[in-house]
Chain A
Amino acid sequence: MRKGAMRRRDFLKLVATSTTGAVLFTGCGIGDGDPETEFKIESPALNPVDLVYGRDNWYATACQECPAGCGLIVRVFEGRAKKVEGNPDFPVNLGATCARAQAAVQELYHPDRIAQPLRLSGARGSGDYQATSWDDALAAFATELGGARGATLIITPPLAGPLGQVVASFAEAFDAQQVAFEPEERVVLREAVRRVFGTDTLPTIDLARAEFLLNFSADFLHSWISPVQFSRAYGEFRHGRADLRGTYWHVGPQMNGSAASADRWFPINPGTEGLVALAMAQVMVAEGLVDQAAAARAYPGITLADYTPERVAETAGISAEQITELARRFAQGTPSVAIAGTTAAAHTNGLFNVAAVLALNYLVGSVGQPGGIILNPSAPFGADVPGPAAGLAYRDWAGVINDLNSGRYRLVIVHGANPVYGLPAASGLREALGQAGKIVALSSFLDDTTLQADLILPVHTSLESWGLQAPDPGPGYQAVTLQQPVVNPFVDSRAFADVLIQAASAAGGALPWESYEAVIRAAVEELRGLRRGNVEAPDAEQYFMAVQAQGGWWDSDATADEAPTAPATPTPVAEPEYAGDPGQFPLFLLPYPSNALGYGETAHLPWLQALPDPMTTAVWTTWVELNPATADRLGVETGDVVRLVTPRGSEEMPVYVNPAAHPDVAAVPMGQGHTDFGRYAKGRGVNPLNLVEPATEAETGALAWAGTRVRVEATGRKVRFPRFEGQVPAFQLEEAPIVQVIPGTH
């Protein structure tokens, strides 16, 4: 054996030593059998979430993503808004938010936000704009304004509170006509509330103390007037009381997101809500469940005896027994409350539908009572501050459009409203705008209406703005949110009201304020003058800061006056009328506001586009929901493209076979089909309003967007249908349910 080579014995020795070493090593506590310490992995595990040092601030403000006016607090880190949460103190939402509020930061930092003033450089509607400076833009705006006295049209959403005051004062200074745009069935709802409860403010529902809720078509948990307020109350309604679980029945043509949570659903034909309510009243009176005199007062001028369940059943599409059951259960509830809205109001008889349902509350004495309908007082603002007002009804838009076409308006100012998208194409608004002298849009995004503008002035998004408004509906007493800028403007934008104030002054019609912030401060100072409410402070500055910190002002003692005992104004019976011959157009077209995108106003936000629809789980698209039997008859399945034909036009979209769809209804969500509105919305899906025959609600003149019939034709084409669920339809395995259910008692 050569010298230096390892001998077998050496090798064995080495092996022995290293083994012993390993044993000793282990014995010294390196490996004690406890994986937690043995593998020492704690430090890296904390690593991905190590705290970052920087200044975190939480600012209270108000949500502007929908008109409900919830209170928010926003996390601001190093000058950037990071996260939106509900303001736990604010009485409307008590700390909660909906999905849309969460996406407010995406509006602020949206990649397609208009970053500087733009001047049209191509043809109108071409989208060709050139950047310009604020000085030039304001000068141009002022020139137009000065030259268009008496010939100016201002289009905004309904504006109440100090902002309404500024705009009204501006309109007065330039003799301008002011019109408000909002989803048409809200116009109907406001009129119905005015007739039934005699108030301009919307009422709230005291669900937390109700025993039985009867809802006619309103999507009150997802998109209807104040979904977060109602959802909070709904949680309490179900499980806020130890001994009582509230019962919710839903009557309506569609299992919408709210109906899905109901204990029972009564699928009726679209637009027959009012008739069902009358038949219920008839049953309650006939069976002596309610006071006959009260019923007569609740339905003045209507002979209830004519509306027996048997008579109504066929029109309504449910059985007389079901109507009787509804009536008995409603009368039995202690207390019961009835509401109606969304598609119920969007028919030619929308006003009757809503009014007839709301009047049911008088029969069971739940108006102004705990667990019933709670009326809201008017806002605590001065007399010169406008209160809540309805938008323009479709019938009146026709007048505006006529005036536009006749060249009456030399200047159109648009802000915060997108009527080119939100009114049916049949209205001709887009074309009429072409006749306007100049169009100035004060907007953050190039939406369908802004796209028609000659001059675009970028305005702040909600998280950069001041504001003061009374939520409508309020929580049952006076409340006001204070909206404050939580971050500096992200782009070169200005506040809408400030632009008006500056332009007015440049055009020689100076308004009485120097800035919008001054308007807000003055209004808060007036609140201080009331000497009541949640905030106390020795001087104006501290008072303002306290209101800022609280996110608003409220006074739980300032409730509405005594509730009325009968409707203020009668509403005659009206049966629904549908555009289109049933032979040719066998189905009802039922557009509906989407949970995430509403009526399309949030279609530009990617989080909301990507949020699965609660029923279909569809995303990023428009679809038509058909009952499996209906789909079978047409020979289509989910993902097949169909053509929807109405007397007004036709559109193509994929089918979603929805096992909960009414067999006679073709439901299509609203929100998509924008010509522009940033990269996430542009050219995506279909606007169902293009299919709607512009019939109007008989009394208010609002657009009856749910009153059109439709024919569905297969095209033979297929698309891949973007949705969240894997296989369609997802039924639970009976032997192993994911969602376990306890059978309850009635």
Chain B
Amino acid sequence: MQERHSHSNERIIRDLLRPVTQTSMMNWVGFIVLGALVTAFLFVIAWMFYWGIGVSGLSRPNMWGFMIVNFVFWIGISHAGVMISAILRLTQAEWRRPVTRAAEVMTMFSLVTAMIFPFIHTGRPWRTLYWVFPYDFWRGIWPDVRSALVMDPSAVFTYLTGTILFVYVTTIPDFALLRDRSTGWRHGLYRVLALGFKGEERQWKIQIISGFLLAAIMLSIFVSVHSIVSWDFAFSLDPVWHSTVWAPYFVIGAVHSGVSAVVTLMAIMRWMFKFDDYIRHEHFDAIGRLLVVVGTTWMWFFLLDIFFDLWRQDPADDAIMHIRFFEWPYPLLLAFVWIFGYFIPVPIWAFRRFRRNIKLMFWASIMVNIGMWAERYWLVIPGLQAKYQWTFDWTAYRPGPVEITLVVGSFAFVGFLLLLFAKLIPPVPVWDELEGKHLAAEIQVGKRTVPAIVREF
């Protein structure tokens, strides 16, 4: 691995802690711009609380719209976390090291953002407590576990809990590091968060085992979360939604968009925090190779779903497929899905030269997520506007300004939280990076070259 730097431990620590210790100009600009958008986002939510769902563009029969699409989108993004930290950790993919934390933290924030949507999307959000917390046992009032809307928050909250734990456990050594290198209120904070971590062998062992265990547990979440989200649709009898393929299809779509979002994030971190030595071309190369596989699998499911819808030859499905293919704006969205979601980025990733071009990778990953947002819209919305043969009720959905602000605001919200987070916790795990360095060190034993350190498990 010729690209690997040979910085001293101290240099690595200093570099990686820089985002926490220093605030660059770019950082400030980011805070202000994103902060303004977040303010608009919060204002619009308050507006909708005050006046009700009437301020949206929803109608009968288009009872779900932008907010649900955006919910699915952010849940999708969150899948980067499991993919990178659970799967790649368990498969011991070395290149994962610099991106695990960013992926996990993004997962955390995109989950929170995603959950905002079904919540504010209800008619009486203040009553949603009934929903998942059956506080009222004695009157026998329970949530209905048959409803996907009960399974769905359960799955998402489980994922969120897992993610928070995971982020926390994997940050403990860094907290300890920060504790030792900070003063004032920060020192106090990090002292509490570090849980007395001193780098003893036993502590390391517990930390590493819990990391692995959490990763293993999260693996089941990897399959479940987006499957369950897809059931919000697939459990219904709505034509085209009512499809068994949606669960795996949503999962792979989620990975496609989530991992692409990690690429975006990697590029931004490299550029913003000058992490050129840590987030290297080889990382983009590796993730690009992964994306070729994921993207192609996703495209296969995408085509499969279309094929299933057409194969049934059911007039109800046909009506919606007609809208999807021929009615404004769906053909445009479909073009986005194909061109941005697959046909531009994936062929690019086939070439090592392009995989190692960070600018290209950045824009390709942005494209994927434009395509994937369009894909969710293309999948979800037309399903309601021409339900069965009631042509009398068929009505197109047009999002209102409130919903558009919410969608734009959600991106700003996630960005804002990420920026804020980078001020508190190093965006690249310092200990992981150091560990990687040590694991990579090799020594000569006799005729063979062997790793200097061997893992116990």
B-binding residues in A (CB < 8 A)? 39-41, 44, 725-727, 730-733, 735-738
Contact = CB atoms under 8 A, between A and B. Distances in A.
Q: Among A731, A732, A736, find the residue whose CB has the most chain B CB atoms closer than 10 A.
A: A736
Interface of B: 139-142, 144, 315-316, 319, 388-396
A735 B388 CA distance: 11
Nearest to B319: A733
A41 B392 CA distance: 36
A730 B319 contact: no
Contacts of B319: 733
B391 A730 contact: yes
A155 B72 CA distance: 67
Contacts, number: 41
B142 A39 contact: yes
Contacts of A736: 315-316, 388-389
Contact of A726 (B144, B316, B394): B394
A189 B392 CA distance: 37
A733 B393 CA distance: 13
A727 B62 CA distance: 13
A578 to B, nearest CB: 36
B389 A727 contact: no
Nearest to B62: A726
25 contacts: A39-B141, A39-B142, A39-B144, A40-B139, A40-B141, A41-B140, A725-B392, A725-B393, A726-B391, A726-B392, A726-B393, A726-B394, A727-B395, A727-B396, A730-B391, A730-B394, A731-B391, A732-B389, A733-B315, A736-B315, A736-B316, A736-B389, A737-B389, A738-B391, A738-B392
Contacts of B394: 726-727, 730
Nearest to B392: A730
Contacts of A39: 140-142, 144
Contacts of A732: 389, 391
A404 B140 CA distance: 76
Given A726-B395, A727-B394, A727-B395, A738 B389 contact: yes
Contacts of A44: 141
Report whether over half of chain B's contact residues are helix, strand or loop; otherwise say mixed: loop
B268 to A, nearest CB: 43
Contact of B391 (A40, A41, A733, A735): A733
A40 B390 CA distance: 36
Residue among A726, A733, A736, A737 with the highest chain B CB neighbour number at 10 A: A726
B309 to A, nearest CB: 16
A732 B315 CA distance: 11
B321 to A, nearest CB: 13
A334 B112 CA distance: 75
Contacts of B389: 732-733, 736-738
A253 B412 CA distance: 61
Contacts of B391: 726-727, 730-733, 738
A725 B142 CA distance: 38
B66 to A, nearest CB: 19
Max count, chain A CB within 10 A of own CB: residue among B142, B316, B392, B393:
B392
A300 B298 CA distance: 85
Nearest to B142: A39
A38 to B, nearest CB: 8
A40 B140 contact: yes
Contacts of B141: 39-41, 44
B287 to A, nearest CB: 41
Contacts of A40: 139-141
A730 B386 CA distance: 12
B315 A735 contact: yes
A737 B139 CA distance: 46
A357 B14 CA distance: 102
A583 to B, nearest CB: 40
Given A731-B391, A733-B315, A738-B392, 7 more contacts: A726-B392, A726-B393, A727-B394, A727-B395, A730-B391, A736-B316, A738-B391
A340 to B, nearest CB: 32
A731 B391 CA distance: 7
Which are the 4 A-B pairs with shortest beta-carbon distances?
A40-B140, A726-B395, A730-B392, A736-B389
A659 to B, nearest CB: 13
Contacts of A727: 391, 394-396
A333 B324 CA distance: 52
Contacts of B315: 733, 735-736
